[in-house]
Amino acid sequence: MHINRFSGNYAFLSNFWYCKIIFEDIEFPSVEHAFQAAKTTNPNEREMVCLAATPVKAKRIGRKVTLRDDWEKVKIEIMRGLLVQKFSQDEMLQEMLLSTGDWELIEGNTWGDKFWGAVLENGKWVGRNELGKLLMSVRCQIRAQV
């Protein structure tokens, strides 16, 4: 079994889910906000992302920031840290994540993201699904601690 849409009953798996996230001493309203801000070391650009009205707007701003030199090397570990924080600090979110059991989590999408997610092609999910893998890893980590 798998979950392939982070919407509806599984919207809590999305980085757009509102929850307090601290990244480098700045409070963000979602993982998406914090992740997009982490792309840059420019304090003004980080503030613009932080103040974005929605995660969608934060993502749009994040596409235009000055990328930090080491971004490709650190982006997966930054995402892991943000997800650990999201699901460790909120008991309800923790329980919801654990309730997914051993199901495969696939960040299925229609916008073509084959790095963080996967796209359905000819009946098969194609893509690295890094977000799904990180969520399953965090789920295992939390399960081991409970």
Tens-level pLDDT at each residue, the chain (146 residues) = 899 999 999 999 999 999 999 999 999 999 999 999 999 999 999 999 999 999 999 999 999 999 999 999 999 999 999 999 999 999 999 999 999 999 999 999 988 899 999 999 999 999 999 999 999 999 999 999 87
Supply 136's token pair: 């399953």
Q: pTM for the full model?
A: 0.95
Query: What whole-number distance in Å separates Cα of residue 129 and Cα of residue 102?
Result: 16
> Tokens 């460790």 — which residue?
88
Q: Are 62 and 35 in contact (CB under 8 A)?
A: yes
Q: To which H or E segment does residue 27 belong?
A: strand 26-30
Query: What whole-number distance in Å separates Cα of residue 17 and Cα of residue 69?
Result: 28
Domains of the chain: 2-145 (1.10.357.40)
